Structures are given as structure tokens and as C-alpha cells.
Amino acid sequence: MTVIGVLRERSDEPRVSLVPQDVAALVQAGFEVVVEHEAGIRAGFRDKDYEARGARTGGKDEVLAAEVLVQVRAYGADRGDGEDVPAGLRPGHVTVGLGNSLGNPAAAQAVAKAGVTSFCLELLPRTTRAQAMDVLSSQAVLAGYRAALVGAERLAKVLPMMSTAAGTLPPAKVLVVGAGVAGLSAIATARRLGALVSAYDVRPEAREQVESVGGMFVALPLDTSEGSAGGGYAAAMGEDFYRRQQELLAATVASSDIVITTAQVPGRRAPVIVTEEMVRRMAPGSVVVDIAAAQGGNCEVTRPDEEVLAAGVHVLGPSNIVAGLAPHASQLFSKNISNFLKLILNSEGVKLDLDDVLIAETLVTHESAVVHPAVLQRLGPEENAESEHVTPSTSPVRS
């Protein structure tokens, strides 16, 4: 019987990778689940809740004895991870979670050297079949929602228009930069709160999506024909493009009460769209919520996990904004993880069916080598050459 281990996250991560409800489904499917003591406590799930659904709870060493380890943020998810062999991981382990493999390829290499087979779900293609496993999208929905709430709470104004005997208060103006999943969620939430919402995105197809959730699309006279990288992602553009974009967007930023920035390019530093000068042109008391902070930020002023006051404007850079919604964020993440586990697990263990695009595109390390082409490219030619001979086998993986 394959054993799935649920590891407790680091101190700055309150989410848990599997919730009791999904543990029950995995146990019913024939798997054994062992959960590290209090792994779910910060997300509102007690050890006894897991035990009532058929899981065992135990210490970290007991969990590390499992063949398959699941986490929200696996080794590599933080840029500080890398070089050293990940503590507790051993040859034969299979890990599933977010690994920031494109942004931190050195960590992927360390995982490979430890003999670990790793699946990084940030690499999952955005296809119809993958939707049930798409952790980035499920978490982005909550990130955009929370960004709108954080901005509304920090702004010392009301968001909806209010008519009183003393006069009428106009609605607050919210600008959302980046109309992906998080951006669309932020637009819809700010609209529900009564704000006047506009949005900008480099992808030409974003206009219809913005308007479908009640936002007004900001059209700039720029050539955006190459702005889409496919799968709902934006492509990285050149420096001249971003400079011109900043110039044209400056007036819209200056007139906004809240600016929410969400623009990210997978595996790369987030583009700087809102400069310090643009922030300084905003009215004192205005707010910038930069949820691309973990990738460097879309705002030049942003400092991850800090609030910066620039000319009276509050610039917030939460690097893990969904942490404030840990119970529901865990619930969605857990459903994604359990669906992926059911895809890769069978009665013999982990079956590497590389004809399945969802498996092939999330497999990062196997047989002591980095096997994902995009991650190899980030590592450079030397590591590429070392791994050229490695072809992942399709036989079951056993510890």
C-alpha cells in the first residue's frame, strides 16, 4: 500500500497541503495517509479531524518514512533553498507541491542529487483537463479577492458611492494591473464593494475578460501582438516596451485611489510597471497592493512583506497574501493535490506515464537528474550536458 505523507509547512506558511475531507477520499481509494502532528492546525484542522477521516498522525520522522510527500511549498519554493541536500529527503522519495523550479533551479538540482523524484505543480499546463489540479489558479482567485479587501481596509475612504443629506461621496477608483486569474478576481471583488474599477493587461484578449467582470479596460497605444505567452500567461517584453507603458499608464495610476498589481511572468522577475515617480503622483492616503512582491514586485517601491510610505502613499508588498485565508486556501489546494495524486498513483506506487502531458510537464527531477527541459535551460549548458543521457523511465517508482 502506497503511503502518502503530509508534512507540516514552515513557520511562515499557515496552509496545509491536504485537508481531512480529501484524506478520507484518498484512504477510500486504497492509500495510507500519515500527517505530521499539527500540520493543519494553523489552517483550522486538528489532528483528531484527520484521524477521524482515516489518517495516522505522527512525528516528522514517521512522515518522512512515507513514499510520497506532499507540501504546499516544497523544497525550492523559497529562493534561499538550494545547494545543500534537502533535510530528510532520501533516494526514492516522491514529492509533490509548489517548488518554484524555474525561479530557483539550483534547488531543483539539489533535489535531484538527493535522488528524489519531484513534481512541481506550478508547471502544470493551463488546459481544460488540468483545471482540477491547477493550484496556481485556485490560489490566485483568493489572492485577487484578498488584495481588494486589503486595499479597501487600508484606504481611508469608502469604496461605494454614498448619497447623504450632507452631500454625495463619489466611488473610489481602483486600477488593477494584470488581468489574469488574480486580477479578474480583484476586479470582481472591488466592483462588489462598489468601486469604479479599471484594469490594464498587456494581453490583447484580456479586454473581453475584464469587461465580463465589470471592469473598464485601459487601452494604451502599444503594440501588444506578442503580449501573450499562451495558457493565460503574459509574455516578457523588452525594456523599451515597459518604459513606454509606464509613460502612458502614469495618468491612470495618479488618478486612482487603489492600485492592485498582479502582473507576473513564470520563472522571471515581475515587470516593473509602476515607478516610484508614478506613486509619488498619487494622492496622499492612496494605496498600492503589489501581490507580485514575491517575484520582485510590479511597483518600484515595493519591499516584500513590508509597508512602505512614499509621499503619503501606502505601498504594501504581501508575498503570500492567501496566508490570510488559510482554511479556504488549504481546502482548494488540497483538492488540487488530491486530484493530481490520483493521476500519478496506482496500486504499485507512482507510475510515470510520460505520454500524459500533465505528468510529463510537472516532472522536474528523476533518477538523480533534472529532467524538465525548461529547468535545465535555466541551469545552463554544463548541467544540460550532464543530463542529456537521462530519460525518465515509465516503471513504477518505489522507495
Average confidence score pLDDT of the chain: 90
- Give the pLDDT score at 146: 98
pLDDT digits (tens, 9 = 90+) for 334-363: 999 999 999 999 877 888 899 999 999 999
pLDDT at residue number 393: 40
Question: CA 249 to CA 243: how far, in whole Å?
Answer: 10
Count CA atoms closer than 13 A to 127's CA, side-chain side: 10
pLDDT at 399: 33
pLDDT band at 86 (very low <50, low <70, confident <90, very high): confident
Domains 3-123+326-387 and 140-319 share a fold: yes
Give the pLDDT score at 230. Answer: 54
Tens digit of each residue's pLDDT (9 = 90 or more) over 267-283? 788 989 999 999 999 99
The residues spanned by each domain of the chain are: 3-123+326-387, 140-319
Grid coordinates in use for 167?
452631500
Q: Which three cell numbers stand for residue 131?
A: 483545471
Q: Is 236 left (phi over 0), alpha (psi -120 to 50) or beta?
A: beta
| Cα 69 to Cα 83: distance, rounded to the nearest angstrom | 21
* Higher pLDDT among residues 366 and 236, named by residue: 366
Pairing status of strand 68-73 against strand 32-36: unpaired
Q: For 140-319, which CATH superfamily applies?
A: NAD(P)-binding Rossmann-like Domain (3.40.50.720)
Whether 294 contacts 258, CB under 8 Å = no
pTM above 0.75, yes or no: yes
Question: Number of helices (H) and strands (E), helices first, in the chain?
Answer: 13, 21
Q: What is the pLDDT of residues 171-226, one digit of tens each?
A: 999 999 999 999 999 999 999 999 999 999 988 789 999 999 999 999 887 776 55
State yes or no: pLDDT of 242 exceeds 70: yes
What angle, rounded to 10 degrees, do the helices at 135-154 and 181-192 form? 40
Residue with the three cell numbers 509597508: 307
What fold does the segment set 3-123+326-387 form as a domain? Rossmann fold (3.40.50)
Per-residue model confidence (pLDDT) at position 394: 39
Residue 165: pLDDT band with limits 50, 70, 90: very high
Query: Active-site positions?
Result: 126, 131, 134, 137, 233
CB 113 within 8 A of CB 386: no
Largest separation between any pair of C-alpha atoms in the chain:
77
